[in-house]
Structure 1
Amino acid sequence: MLLTGCAQVPPEKEDPRDPLQSVNRPIYDFNMDVLDAYVLRPVAVGYTKVTPQPVRSGLVNATNNLDAPIDATNSLLQGKVSNSGVNVARFLVNSTVGIFGIFDVASEIGLVEETEDFGQTLGVWGVSDGAYLMFPGYGPSTVRNASGDVMDAVVLPSLSLGTPVTLGKWVIKVLEARASLIPQEALLNESLDPYLFLKDVYFQRQLYELYDGNPPLPKVEKSTEEKANDDFFENL
């Protein structure tokens, strides 16, 4: 499959962020046309139909609570001491009063969740995105974020959680993530190039999260006339 997909990418679709597009595209097609169509989407739809919303909310709260120490660690590594403290407080409150995190009591008392991951930590430290990657069964990522995901999903949880708990948390996250995308499927399916659409959305979201919702505005190249005007006023 990968060999047949390695045809030359048309010049108009070349993207310096995506040097492996000729490999990524067939993996994307496999994810959408096989894994998602025949496995992930049907399971996610069945999950939402048979699982009552209060139960789903409790499972999501519990998995988020297990991630609170990871959020706190990454917040601290990014120099966000207050956010780290909030995440520690959330974990303590929800693990006790919230009955192992099933109920999000912390949010009710004003301790708002501050999610951070190691990919964002690397970005704060100045590590660039690296190449855009499409993983079978996992979806879009970059070299930096894939490295961060390994740290968040394997290294840090292994210090405190057993394998069954870690696996169960991962399954719930995958099902909820896929279920949340069902209302947005039309946007992807109706786009001229779903692969490019998903890639652009992914990079926009990563930039938004890296800068905590306040990404820098793109620089606009000034025209020759504007540069001349600037020079004129600077020399007055």
Structure 2
Amino acid sequence: MQINSWFASLIIIVTLAFVSGCSSTNDETVDGSETEQTTAQNSDPKDPLESINRSIWTFNWDYLDKYVFKPVSQAYVGYVPSPIRSGLYNVAVNINEPFTVVNNLLQLKFQKAGVATGRFVLNSTVGLLGWFDVAKHAGLMREEEEFGEVLGYYGVGDGPFLMLPVLGPSSVRDEAGDLVDGYYWPLAIIDFWPNVARKLIIGLETRAQLADQETLLNESLDPYEFVKGAYFQNINYKVHDGNPPVIVDEQEEEELDDFLEEF
């Protein structure tokens, strides 16, 4: 997710976040001692602000998504013809291709940089400023690369988990990366309101496409933890281009070795 301004980026991020969560569990104190929920909240080193994050999550899901983003996305899908929705979405995401090119080059991913360049040239010309995704039919598939992934590629950690008001789940590294992405051409020269419209289009489509996944959240034991875990898994997946390293628990490995030695 890239940022040209704070408000311009909120639509897409919040819609991605909202389909992945619901109301949070409040901290309670019994006889002056913390409950198991509170203890669990304070145990995650990636989430030092969890008590605040959970409150923000409740506000995001119970109010903003329920009364604003979900009904608006349903109306958008219901009343705007599919060909127009598809064209608007293609134009909106086509503008992201240049920063994908640069971010791939920064990671020495020359083939992917070439694909993103080809996509932008084809779609911006033959595809009428991106209205038609001609590049996809030519075998050039879209794969967005953000500056936050560049930082992760060079070993910069995620930093604390952040549940931002309206914006949804993020991290210190991703927020820094989004800021840089916003300075790439042509995002840097797009006026405020056109960029808001672009984000709105992307957000409405994303919210509509992910609506079916709400059931997973409603059935989860702790929706907040579900969202946080999914967020970090997704970021790790993207940083490693779909092939994240397998983390081995040394203690479990030793116990397994001891067990096998008995046979």
The answer to whether TM tops 0.5 is: yes
Alignment partner of 1:92 out of 121, 135, 151: 121
Map of 1:127-142 to 2, 5 A cutoff? 127-142=156-171
* 8 Å CA contact 1:78, 1:121 repeated in 2: yes
The aligned counterpart of 1:10 is 38
Counterpart Cα distance in 2 of 1:98 and 1:34: 39
1:223 aligned onto 2:224: no
The structural deviation recorded for 1:114 is 2.5
Tell me what 2:143 maps to. 114
* Count of aligned pairs: 225
Name the SS of the counterpart of 1:23 in structure 2: helix
Out of 89, 94, 106, the position equivalent to 1:65 is 94
* CA apart distance, 1:21: 0.2
**TM alignment of 1:1-236, pairs within 5 A:** 10-13=38-41, 14-152=43-181, 154-156=182-184, 157-221=186-250, 222-223=253-254, 226=257
Residue-by-residue CA offset, 1:93-125 (whole Å, 9 max, x unaligned): 001100110100011111122210011111112
Structure 2 CA distance, aligned partners of 1:223 and 1:229?
A: 10
Post-superposition Cα deviations, 1:134-175, rounded to whole Å, max 9, x if no partner, equal 0111110010011112222x3224434233332221111221
Identity of aligned pairs, percent? 44
Report SS of the residue matched to 1:134. strand
Following TM superposition, by how much is the alpha carbon of 1:132 offset from its aligned partner in structure 2, in angstroms?
0.3
Task: Report the Cα distance in structure 2 between the residues aligned to 1:171 and 1:184, rounded to whole angstroms.
Answer: 20
Q: CA RMSD in A?
A: 2.1
Look up the equivalent residue of 2:129 and give its one-letter code.
Answer: F
The Cα shift of 1:220 comes to 3.0
Offset of 1:38 from its aligned partner? 0.8
Match of 1:233 in 2: none
State whether residues 47 and 160 of structure 2, in contact with CA within 8 Å, keep that contact through their aligned partners in structure 1.
Answer: yes
The runs of 4+ residues in structure 1 deviating greater than 4 Å are 5-9, 227-230
Contact conserved, 2:27 with 2:38, CA < 8 A, in 1?
no
Shift of 1:226: 2.3
Gaps of at least 5 residues in structure 2 are: 1-25, 29-33
Q: Distance in 1 between matches of 2:89 and 2:159?
A: 31
| Matched residue SS, 1:191 | coil
Could you tell me whether the CA contact under 8 Å between 2:93 and 2:202 is conserved in 1? Answer: no
Amino acid at match of 1:117: E
Could you tell me the TM-score, scaled by structure 2's length? 0.80
In the alignment, structure 1 segments of 5+ residues that lack a partner are: 231-236
Q: Which has the higher contact order (CA 8 A, sep 6+)?
A: 2
C-alpha change, 1:225 and 1:54, in structure 2 (3 Å) is closer
